[in-house]
């Protein structure tokens, strides 16, 4: 299965991806994580993208395409992938089209007000990347990952001003991708969130059920 999980920043792409990864037997490729790790390690790529990541702006398409091609080449031929955070523009979608054919779009529909509440209370594990939320998806022990015991932290860009900017960028540059993929008749599985306290598990199960109907899971 070659899929894209699609939604605004903070819609839950990372949360859903980590929960579906083992059940689907796919590589989850999160472009944002790749960039942030590069920034952390001060690699040549990290220095290129640092100013964009900190402002919540999009990394230039040529840089993103270069990184994606390199990463997809590492996916075993008998294994699928789930793209998180790519493509974000029509130009990136055109680049992806030349590399791989997408089987399905998993679309997360979440209101802006819920996203802002979610992101300002989001925490991630420094070791394994598992996503938590101090409002409704708390770890068993405060500040400690349930899975690996790693330290939880808050991303520097998880503040309201940057979040609002990211949402605006998403609406103007990324939402047109919905029409792009519908025109290409790629199947969509839409998951709608109506409450900040909605647990992810039932929605993950619903998406897996729909994937089975498409014979992709």
SS3 label, residue 137: strand
The yes-or-no answer on residue 19 being catalytic is no
Of 2, 19, 122, 123, which one is the catalytic site residue?
A: 122
The yes-or-no answer on residue 135 being catalytic is no
* Integer CA distances (angstroms), 15 to 57, 157, 186, 217, in order: 22, 17, 23, 19
Q: Which residue reads 């039932």 in tokens?
A: 202
Of 2, 13, 118, 123, which one is the catalytic site residue?
A: 13
8 A C-beta contact, residue 206 and residue 190: no
SS3 label, residue 168: helix
The yes-or-no answer on residue 118 being catalytic is no
- CA proximity to 207, closest of 216, 196, 194: 216
**Cα–Cα distance for residue pair 30/38, rounded to 1 Å:** 13
Of 50, 69, 138, 155, which one is the catalytic site residue?
A: 155
Of 2, 36, 88, 118, which one is the catalytic site residue?
A: 88
**Cα–Cα distance for residue pair 138/160, rounded to 1 Å:** 21
CA R_g for the chain: 17
The yes-or-no answer on residue 122 being catalytic is yes
Sign of CA dihedral 124, 8, 60, 4: positive
Count CB atoms within 10 A of the CB of residue 135: 13
Count CB atoms within 10 A of the CB of residue 181: 19
Please give the positions annotated as active site.
13, 88, 122, 155, 166
């Amino acid at each position: 299965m070659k899929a894209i999980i699609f939604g605004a920043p903070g819609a839950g792409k990372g949360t859903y991806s980590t929960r579906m990864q083992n059940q689907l037997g796919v590589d989850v490729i999160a472009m944002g994580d790749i960039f942030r790790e590069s920034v952390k390690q001060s690699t040549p790529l990290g220095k290129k993208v640092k100013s964009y990541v900190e402002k919540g702006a999009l990394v230039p398409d040529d840089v993103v395409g270069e990184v994606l091609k390199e990463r997809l080449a590492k996916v075993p031929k008998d294994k699928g992938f789930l793209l998180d955070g790519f493509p974000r523009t029509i130009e990136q979608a055109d680049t992806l089209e030349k590399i791989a054919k997408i089987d399905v779009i998993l679309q997360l529909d979440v209101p802006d007000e819920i996203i802002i509440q979610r992101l300002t209370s989001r925490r991630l594990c420094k070791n394994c990347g598992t996503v938590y939320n101090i409002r409704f998806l708390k770890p068993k022990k405060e500040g400690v990952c349930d899975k690996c015991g790693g330290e939880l932290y808050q991303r520097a860009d998880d503040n309201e001003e940057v979040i609002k900017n990211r949402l605006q960028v998403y609406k103007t540059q990324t939402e047109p991708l919905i029409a792009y993929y519908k025109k290409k008749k790629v199947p969509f599985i839409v998951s709608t969130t109506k409450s900040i306290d909605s647990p992810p598990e039932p929605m993950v199960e619903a998406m897996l059920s729909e994937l089975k109907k498409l014979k992709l899971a």
